């Protein structure tokens, strides 16, 4: 072994040069630790490659020598993910810091794994874009680490966690082979490797580069600071706020012990005589933000806030956030050691958990300071102790475990964003049932049969067998739809029609942003669409004002494997990184991995209003250049989205005359209601409309719940509402409508997710139609002439053999079928 | 095993270090502020890494310090204090400094080059000698240009001896000597009609009397910029008092491991200032001296204040118009050690027509670090080039900084950038020019 180690070091030195391999005692000590305070053993050496391609070579050399590899970003992980087992090679990405050019049109950028989160946002800033996940560690933590932990942050309430902003990954497997997860498209159908790798803590593969989605900067931002004499009232006000239709970008709370710590450290001027301080940030179009801020302040006051004040200017807001983001670090001033926790519960359970934490504090006689990502139901209690005082550490850990158990009893999860790592391994079996744990282990074995990638992390270490002691029982699946209004979730059997769920939700001011019901057959939310199918297929037909797919909303599933093993993955919480993300893996897999039994989805506040415009170009200028028409539509939609005001769900319904240059466009959008919003939207549309020679014919507005009334008012053509067969095309990113080579005469352009629907035959749009043909711009054809297309075989760089093995983990006898490439081995 | 007397800390010292060390929660938020980590990506060269190593030293001094990698990690610390400025947990920099000093005092390992002998270091407080250095480095640059052509900086890279000569010649700070030269340079950048050269107006009566404390390096290497700064202070209403006996602040001696000499210089200064007379403050020119003087603590008869901070707070006449895009570089001794961030910006924003640009990585050291740059040549050059690249990337017409060391380092970095690069000038010179334009316009 020692000799094998020497050989490996020599080979690595040959590859990386002396400066790329650290073997000195200093490095072995320093790289044995991360921010978690956990220690395991000394690594064999530390490799710091400067070339992306060397990552795979390093992993291959280690695989040949049988030496484990632990990827490491900046070592800010709090669960010990980057702490190496003795004798492992640490593969540091700190020198892989290249950032590609920002593709402003697609809102995407390619980043190497060592790029710092904050550096990425600075890179995108000149384009009016930013990377939405903003962990408090963003100044130091890396993109690779963010992906591996599926990091969240204060602003993930409205914008989602890292996996929502990941388009594609380049990665290397346990054998040192380079792969990609495929084309960065909006509706990535198929078995979601991207979602599986994200949050896998470096145990399934090493990320070598990522295509990330960037988010437009909001037009206006307002930050409120509310003082609550009662912590419980503060926590319960969060759901009230969301249910009032207000969707702030962030809702954070710090309790009094935390506020005292922060004040001592930074002297920002936070009130320390109240039990809770809440920070609420609203973003969007200027006037809408002002109205919402006033409404928010009202809700908070009624919910028990003693005072609500606005952060004055950008500088004060920045200071406030810095103060919040550094709160955690400030704990070090008060206590030499602490257990940092990361439990998450359904929103409606937040106050109950806070009460239980108070009891734990008294029962165990420990000090606890807590910072909450309250809007997500995610909280970080820090249980103080001093390792040098007899029994202190044990007491703190017992208290922490009591809090975890309390969170689990309330339907929560042991970790919302910090990951399992080494730290939460013991608690994972309290949350997972044995069947699910077995599936997780099978997934790991598929990717890394010899257990060389970050071994000993993320997965329960206990043997996994049917009915194994210590695992949680399988929770009961719902038998009918269950709405939990104060948690903003709906749990339902997979066979429940979505339209029914949507109607009930809308009556409560909430909705699933998958589209509006009430359209003709063939539309997304028609009577035939069940919750389960929306998850399996992601898209079935054009949907009125849809702005998401089920992948963005699914929190929890009950399912059975092909061979009939029931399992349960996820939890009814907004953030959850306990175990691999099986929930995402099942999204869009067309039911080829498991049969869905029931599921929980997240409800969102419904927009207040919907707007529609009808624009026309008359035949005076005969224009047969069909691409020009598509360019015009693209420019109009871009103008709608450009405001950074949180408006989404844009749609354009376009129809043009045969040869006579006539063109009509119906534009639809939804968002917060306010007089100037409408004016502003209209203003934004003026220039592109003029450029395309289009003039406004009708403009209409409706309360959102009655948005479908816009159809007759705007003269939406009959084909757009009742075509009997659709073709759904997904352009490659960065390709606007202008890139469609033979543009269909009639199309519905859906902006989020970006898909083009046309009632015309898909034949001229076949991928084989020449170099300038569809293949150049078409990423996926989801539906062709009314026939839902089978899962497309992924492009070359995607490891199809792994997809086939994954299929066999879930469906060993292949009873759930699937396309040939998925079910039959390529070489026999 | 060799003796390492520096590591025999007293129990008292050990206890102090231990308490400080326990403040570090290992969060790693200090990494991106640390120039040596930024340049190497090596966590042993990061604040958190160094603190972990100090912890090991406390536990097992001899075993650890006999390790070259441990000693190198500590020795490479620039002492820029960026880490303690960003640390949420308030880990005091004093801890690192103590450990780093101890590492330096121990027998240097063979792989840590020390090209600057101690006697040379101490000459750096001698202003006559410094003027000679400025003169000879200018001649040195002429010679290098003669030998290697106009791209001499790039051509000597990688050559050991020539490389050291080039760094010595290249990074010695310089700025336009005569007012005429400076004004011509800035007029050229601003692409306007030429500004008549003259003296700044003096107010009839100074508004506040202050003790003027010039920096050795400024007076020695940039005597004219130093003079212009004094003129500017007077223009802004300062009555400058220069007590006889003002001498070097002692930072250099302390740095070179000569605490007794440092104490003597301190005493001499304190004696010169006496009770302070009717002066309101001691205004320091160089940020390094500012930190050292502040370090006199309770013995100071008057508060210490940086020249830029004084200027920013003064009721001064308005600046004239300077239509330039200017990128500002903060010296570590100002930004981190004295928390001076707002004031220079407020001054620049007070200049009509001037657009202030902020470079990326504003808290990362430029790699000058005083003498550190001479003992860690390669790393220093890497950092200088990085800083220069980021400053140039702002698209500025001009870079300014208030510190002589940074000035030389950034000039050196800008010189090796491919393509056009903006010039770099002392912040005081730009302000002086803005004041001059007010008088004449
Ligand atoms: C003060 C503080 C505040 C924090 N706040 C938040 C917060 O608000 N939200 C949040 O989510 N987290 C937070 N964290 C936790 C931590 O910062 C995140 O988990 C972060 O994503 C880790 O990034 P890193 O680069 O430091 O990764 P590391 O700690 O180096 O590694 C973390 C894990 O990622 C794996 N990994 C790293 N790079 C790769 C790669 N290229 N390929 C595959 N696997 C890889 C490692 O093996 C390890 O398992 C905080 C931490 C601190 C110290
Ligand atoms: S920022 Fe402070 S507490 Fe965090 S690792 Fe650095 S020195 Fe330690
Ligand atoms: S003083 Fe500067 S170089 Fe030294 S550890 Fe701190 S940031 Fe790094």
Ligand 3 pocket mutation, candidates B30, B81, B82, B368, criterion most atoms within 8 A of CB: B82
Residue A757 gets which letter from DSSP?
Answer: E
Which residues of B are less than 8 Å from A258 in CB distance? none
Nearest residue of A to residue B48 by CA position? A30
Question: How many CB atoms are located within 10 Å of the residue A392 CB?
Answer: 17
- Domain membership flag for residue B204: yes
Same domain, A593 and A650: no
Global confidence as pTM: 0.92
Same domain, B99 and B206: no
Same domain, A350 and A274: no
- Domain membership flag for residue A131: yes
Interchain CB distance below 8 Å, A35 and B69: no
| B89 close to ligand 2 (CB < 6 Angstrom) | yes
Token pair 């980043």 in the structure block, residue: A111
How much of chain B, in percent, has pLDDT values that exceed 90? Answer: 44
Number of residues assigned to chain B: 441
**Complex ipTM:** 0.91
- Domain membership flag for residue A404: yes
Q: Residue B75 — very low, low, confident or very high, per pLDDT cuts 50/70/90?
A: confident
Using only the alpha carbons of chain A, give its radius of gyration: 26
Beta-bridge partners for B238: B208
- Nearest-angstrom CA–CA distance, A392 and A401: 14
pLDDT at residue number B3: 44
| B82 close to ligand 3 (CB < 6 Angstrom) | yes
Of B29, B56, B64, the CB nearest to A329: B29
What lies within 8 Å, CB to CB, of A390 at 6+ separation is none
| Domain CATH number, residue A394 | 3.30.70.2740
Cα pseudo-dihedral A398, A404, A408, A410, rounded to 10? 100
Which residues of B are less than 8 Å from A97 in CB distance? 41
Which residues of A are less than 8 Å from B44 in CB distance? 22, 24, 26-27, 30
Q: Are A412 and A374 in contact (CB under 8 A)?
A: no
Same domain, B200 and B308: yes
Judged by its nearest atom, the ligand closest to the C-alpha of residue A376 is 1
Same domain, A730 and A618: yes
pLDDT tens figures, B349-376: 999 999 999 999 999 999 988 778 878 8
DSSP secondary structure string, A650-684? EEEEEEE-SSS--EEEEEEEEE---HHHHHHHHHH
Residue whose Cα lies nearest atom 39 of ligand 1: it is A144
- Domain membership flag for residue B294: yes
- Nearest-angstrom CA–CA distance, B223 and A569: 72
Pick B112 or B215 by higher pLDDT: B215
| B87 close to ligand 2 (CB < 6 Angstrom) | yes
Of A25, A30, A119, the CB nearest to B43: A30
Site from A31, A140, A387 to mutate, B interface, most B CB atoms within 10 angstroms: A140
Res. B109: pLDDT tops 50: no
Ligand 3 pocket mutation, candidates B76, B81, B337, B379, criterion most atoms within 8 A of CB: B81
| Domain CATH number, residue A311 | 3.30.70.2190
| B383 close to ligand 3 (CB < 6 Angstrom) | no
Distance from B320 to chain A by nearest Cα, in Å?
A: 28
pLDDT tens figures, B14-42: 787 787 788 888 999 999 999 999 999 99
Domain boundary residue among A588, A605, A622? Answer: A605
- Tokens representing B325 are 């895009």
| B309 close to ligand 2 (CB < 6 Angstrom) | no
Domain boundary residue among B68, B88, B105? Answer: B105
Which residues of A are less than 8 Å from B64 in CB distance? 25
pLDDT at residue number A771: 47
User: Which residues form the pocket of ligand 1, taking CB atoms under 6 Å from any ligand atom?
Assistant: A 34-35, 70-78, 81-82, 93, 113, 135-137, 141-142, 144-146, 148-149, 151-153, 201-202, 206-207, 328-329, 417-418, 454; B 27-29
| Domain CATH number, residue B273 | 3.40.50.1860
Planar angle of CA A69, A70, A75, nearest 5 degrees: 160
Same domain, A726 and A764: yes
Interchain CB distance below 8 Å, B41 and A333: no
Which residues of B are less than 8 Å from A264 in CB distance? none
| B24 close to ligand 2 (CB < 6 Angstrom) | yes
Domain boundary residue among B313, B335, B359? Answer: B313
Mean of the per-residue pLDDT values of chain B: 83
pLDDT at residue number A144: 98
Same domain, A597 and A685: no
Which residues of B are less than 8 Å from A34 in CB distance? 26, 28
Res. B344: pLDDT tops 60: yes
| Domain CATH number, residue A202 | 3.30.465.10
CA of B294 to the centre of ligand 1 (A): 39
Tell which residue, A383, A389, A362, A351, has the closest CA to residue A257. Answer: A383
Q: Are A35 and B27 in contact (CB under 8 A)?
A: yes
Site from A20, A23, A29, A144 to mutate, B interface, most B CB atoms within 10 angstroms: A29
Q: Are A253 and A277 in contact (CB under 8 A)?
A: yes
Selection from A592-601, B255-264, B408-417 with the highest mean pLDDT? A592-601
- Domain membership flag for residue A357: yes
- Domain membership flag for residue B300: yes
Same domain, A579 and A453: yes
Which residues of B are less than 8 Å from A331 in CB distance? 25, 89
CA of A279 to the centre of ligand 2 (A): 25
- Domain membership flag for residue A792: no
Domain that holds residue B74: 5-105
Res. B346: pLDDT tops 90: yes
| B36 close to ligand 3 (CB < 6 Angstrom) | yes
- Domain membership flag for residue B62: yes
Residue B69 gets which letter from DSSP?
Answer: H
Same domain, A593 and A663: no
Total tally of structural domains belonging to chain B: 2
Same domain, A478 and A340: no
Interchain CB distance below 8 Å, B42 and A48: yes
What lies within 8 Å, CB to CB, of B435 at 6+ separation is B200, B232, B235, B236, B317, B319, B320
Total tally of structural domains belonging to chain A: 6
- Taking phi first (over 0 means left), then psi (-120 to 50 degrees means alpha), and beta for anything else, what does residue B381 get? alpha
- Domain membership flag for residue A803: no
Of B23, B44, B90, the CB nearest to A26: B44
Number of residues assigned to chain A: 828
| B134 close to ligand 3 (CB < 6 Angstrom) | no
- Domain membership flag for residue B323: no
Interchain CB distance below 8 Å, B28 and A27: no
- Domain membership flag for residue A725: yes
- Nearest-angstrom CA–CA distance, B70 and B91: 20
- Nearest-angstrom CA–CA distance, A571 and A420: 15
Nearest residue of A to residue B41 by CA position? A94
Domain boundary residue among A605, A620, A642? Answer: A605
Nearest residue of B to residue A333 by CA position? B89
Domain boundary residue among A570, A605, A640? Answer: A605
Residue whose Cα lies nearest atom 5 of ligand 3: it is B47
Spans of chain A, pLDDT less than 70: 1-3, 462-469, 518-525, 527, 619-630, 641-649, 659, 673-677, 733-743, 763-776, 826-828
Planar angle of CA A347, A606, A639, nearest 5 degrees: 125
Same domain, A527 and A412: no
Distance from A641 to chain B by nearest Cα, in Å?
A: 29
pLDDT tens figures, B135-168: 666 666 666 666 666 666 666 655 656 666 666 6
- Domain membership flag for residue A411: yes
Report residue A272: phi and psi, to 5°: -115, 10
What average pLDDT does range B257-274 have in this prediction? 87
Same domain, A562 and A437: yes
Report residue A277: phi and psi, to 5°: -115, 130
| Domain CATH number, residue B32 | 1.10.1060.10
CA of B28 to the centre of ligand 2 (A): 5
Question: How many CB atoms are located within 10 Å of the residue B199 CB?
Answer: 11
SS3 of residue B305 by DSSP = strand
Domain boundary residue among B105, B131, B156? Answer: B105
Same domain, A471 and A586: yes
Residue A551 gets which letter from DSSP?
Answer: G
Ligand 3: nearest atom to the Cα of B81: 1
pLDDT at residue number A524: 60
Ligand 1: nearest atom to the Cα of A326: 1
Chain A, chain B: beta-carbon pairs less than 8 Å apart = 117
Domain that holds residue A176: 108-216
Res. B174: pLDDT tops 70: yes
Question: How many CB atoms are located within 10 Å of the residue B371 CB?
Answer: 16
Ligand 3 pocket mutation, candidates B35, B43, B49, B75, criterion most atoms within 8 A of CB: B35
Q: Are A334 and A142 in contact (CB under 8 A)?
A: no
- Domain membership flag for residue A805: no
Biggest CA–CA distance in chain B, Å, is: 72
CA of B407 to the centre of ligand 3 (A): 20
Same domain, A438 and A587: yes
Interchain CB distance below 8 Å, B29 and A48: no
């Amino acid at each position: 072994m020692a000799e094998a180690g020497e050989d490996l070091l020599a080979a690595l030195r040959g590859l990386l040069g002396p400066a790329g391999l650290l073997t000195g005692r200093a490095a072995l000590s320093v790289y044995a630790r991360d921010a978690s305070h956990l220690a395991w053993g000394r690594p064999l050496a530390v490799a710091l490659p400067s070339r992306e391609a060397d990552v795979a070579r390093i992993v291959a050399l280690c695989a040949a020598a049988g030496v484990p590899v632990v990827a490491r970003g900046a070592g800010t992980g709090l669960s010990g993910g980057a702490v190496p087992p003795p004798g492992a090679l640490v593969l540091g990405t700190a020198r892989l810091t290249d950032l590609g050019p920002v593709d402003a049109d697609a809102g995407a950028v390619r980043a190497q794994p060592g790029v710092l989160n904050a550096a990425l946002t600075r890179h995108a800033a000149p384009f009016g874009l930013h990377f939405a996940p903003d962990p408090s560690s963003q100044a130091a933590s890396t993109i690779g680490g963010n992906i591996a932990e599926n990091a969240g942050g204060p602003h993930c309430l409205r914008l989602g966690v890292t996996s929502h902003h990941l388009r594609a990954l380049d990665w290397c497997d346990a054998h040192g082979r380079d792969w990609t997860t495929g084309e960065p498209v909006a509706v990535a159908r198929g078995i979601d490797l991207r979602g599986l790798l994200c949050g896998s803590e470096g145990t399934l593969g090493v990320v070598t580069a990522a295509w990330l989605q960037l988010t437009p900067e909001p037009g206006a931002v307002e930050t409120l600071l509310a003082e609550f004499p009662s912590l419980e009232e503060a926590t319960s006000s969060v759901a009230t706020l969301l249910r009032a239709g207000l969707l702030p970008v962030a809702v954070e709370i710090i309790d009094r012990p935390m506020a005292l710590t922060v004040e001592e450290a930074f002297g920002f001027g936070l009130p320390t005589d109240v039990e809770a301080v809440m920070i609420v940030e609203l973003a969007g179009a200027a006037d809408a933000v002002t109205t919402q801020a006033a409404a928010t302040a009202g809700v908070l006051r009624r919910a028990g806030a003693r005072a609500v004040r606005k952060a004055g200017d950008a500088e004060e807001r920045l200071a406030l956030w810095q103060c919040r983001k550094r709160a955690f670090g400030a704990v070090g001033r008060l206590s030499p050691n602490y257990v940092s926790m990361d439990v998450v519960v359904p929103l409606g359970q937040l106050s109950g958990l806070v009460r239980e934490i108070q009891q734990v504090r008294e029962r165990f006689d420990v000090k606890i300071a807590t910072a909450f990502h309250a809007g997500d139901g995610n909280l970080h209690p820090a249980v103080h102790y001093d390792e040098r005082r007899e029994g202190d550490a044990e007491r703190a850990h017992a208290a922490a475990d009591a809090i975890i158990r309390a969170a689990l009893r309330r339907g929560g999860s042991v970790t919302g964003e910090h990951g399992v790592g080494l730290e939460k391994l013991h608690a994972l079996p309290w949350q997972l049932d044995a069947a699910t744990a077995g599936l997780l282990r099978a997934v790991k074995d598929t990717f890394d049969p010899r257990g060389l990638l970050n071994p000993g992390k993320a997965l329960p270490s206990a043997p996994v067998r049917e009915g194994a002691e210590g695992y949680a029982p399988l929770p009961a699946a719902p038998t009918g739809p269950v709405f939990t209004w104060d948690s903003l979730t709906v749990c339902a059997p997979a066979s429940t029609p979505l339209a029914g769920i949507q109607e009930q939700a809308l009556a409560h001011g909430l909705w699933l942003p998958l589209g509006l019901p009430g359209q003709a057959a063939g539309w997304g939310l028609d009577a035939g669409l069940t919750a389960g199918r929306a998850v399996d297929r992601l898209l079935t037909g054009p949907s009125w004002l849809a702005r998401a797919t089920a992948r963005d909303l699914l929190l929890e599933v009950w399912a059975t494997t092909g061979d009939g093993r029931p399992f349960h993955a996820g939890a009814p919480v907004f953030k959850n990184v306990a175990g691999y993300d099986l929930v995402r893996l099942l999204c869009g897999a067309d039911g080829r991995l498991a049969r869905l039994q029931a599921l929980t989805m997240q409800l969102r506040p419904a927009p207040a209003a919907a707007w529609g415009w009808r624009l026309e170009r008359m035949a005076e200028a005969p224009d047969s250049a069909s691409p020009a028409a598509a360019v015009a539509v693209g420019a109009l939609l871009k103008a709608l989205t450009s405001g950074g005001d949180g408006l989404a769900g844009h749609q354009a319904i376009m129809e043009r005359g045969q040869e006579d240059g006539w063109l009509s466009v119906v534009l639809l959008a939804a968002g917060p209601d306010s007089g100037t919003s409408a004016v502003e939207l209209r203003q934004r549309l003026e220039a592109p409309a003029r450029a395309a020679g289009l003039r406004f014919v009708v403009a209409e507005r409706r309360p959102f719940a009655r948005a479908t009334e816009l159809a007759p008012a705007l003269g939406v053509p009959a084909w757009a509402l009742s075509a009997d067969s659709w073709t759904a095309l997904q352009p490659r990113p960065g390709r606007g409508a202008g890139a469609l080579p033979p543009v269909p005469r009639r199309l519905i352009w859906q902006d989020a997710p970006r898909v083009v629907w046309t009632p015309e035959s898909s034949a001229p749009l076949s991928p084989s139609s020449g170099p300038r043909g569809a293949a150049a711009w078409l990423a996926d054809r989801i539906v062709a002439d009314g026939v839902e297309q089978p899962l497309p075989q992924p492009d070359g760089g995607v490891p199809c053999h792994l997809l086939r093995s994954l299929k066999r983990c879930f469906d060993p006898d292949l009873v759930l079928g699937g396309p040939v490439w998925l079910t039959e081995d390529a070489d026999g | 095993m060799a003796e390492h007397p520096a590591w025999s800390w007293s129990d008292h010292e050990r206890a102090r270090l231990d308490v400080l060390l326990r403040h570090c929660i290992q969060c790693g938020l200090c990494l991106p502020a640390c120039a040596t980590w930024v340049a190497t990506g090596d966590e042993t060269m990061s604040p958190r890494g160094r603190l972990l190593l100090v912890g090991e030293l406390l536990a097992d001094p001899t075993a650890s310090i006999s390790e070259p990698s441990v000693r190198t990690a500590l020795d490479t610390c620039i002492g820029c204090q960026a880490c303690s400025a960003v640390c949420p947990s308030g880990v005091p920099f004093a801890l690192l400094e103590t450990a780093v000093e101890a590492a330096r005092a121990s027998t240097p390992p063979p792989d840590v080059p020390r090209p600057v002998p101690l006697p040379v270091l101490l000459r750096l407080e001698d202003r006559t000698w410094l003027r000679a250095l400025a003169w000879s480095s200018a001649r040195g640059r002429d010679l290098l240009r003669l030998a290697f052509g106009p791209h001499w900086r790039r051509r000597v890279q990688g050559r050991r001896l020539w490389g050291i000569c080039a760094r010595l010649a290249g990074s010695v700070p310089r700025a336009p000597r005569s007012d005429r030269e400076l004004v011509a340079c800035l007029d050229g950048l601003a692409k306007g009609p030429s500004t008549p050269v003259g003296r700044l107006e003096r107010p009839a009566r100074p508004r506040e009397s202050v003790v003027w404390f010039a920096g050795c390096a400024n007076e020695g290497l940039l005597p004219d910029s130093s003079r212009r700064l004094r003129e500017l202070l007077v223009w802004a209403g300062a009555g400058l008092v220069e007590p006889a006996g003002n001498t070097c602040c002692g930072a250099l001696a302390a740095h070179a491991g000569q605490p007794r000499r440092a104490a003597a210089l301190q005493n001499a200064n304190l004696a010169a200032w006496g009770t302070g007379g009717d002066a309101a403050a001691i205004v320091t020119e160089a940020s390094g001296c500012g930190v050292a003087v502040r370090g006199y603590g309770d013995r100071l008869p008057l508060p210490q204040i940086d020249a830029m901070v004084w200027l920013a707070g003064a009721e001064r006449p308005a600046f004239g118009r300077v239509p330039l895009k200017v990128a500002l570089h903060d010296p570590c001794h100002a930004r981190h050690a004295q928390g001076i961030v707002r004031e220079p910006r407020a001054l620049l924003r007070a200049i009509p027509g001037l657009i202030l640009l902020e470079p990326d990585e504003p808290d990362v050291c430029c790699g000058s670090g005083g003498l550190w740059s001479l003992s860690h040549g390669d790393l220093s050059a890497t950092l200088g080039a990085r800083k220069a690249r980021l400053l140039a990337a702002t698209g500025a017409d001009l870079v300014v900084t208030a510190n002589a060391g940074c000035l030389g380092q950034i000039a050196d970095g800008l010189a090796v950038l491919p393509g056009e690069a903006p010039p770099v000038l002392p912040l005081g010179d730009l302000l002086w020019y803005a004041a001059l334009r007010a008088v004449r316009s």
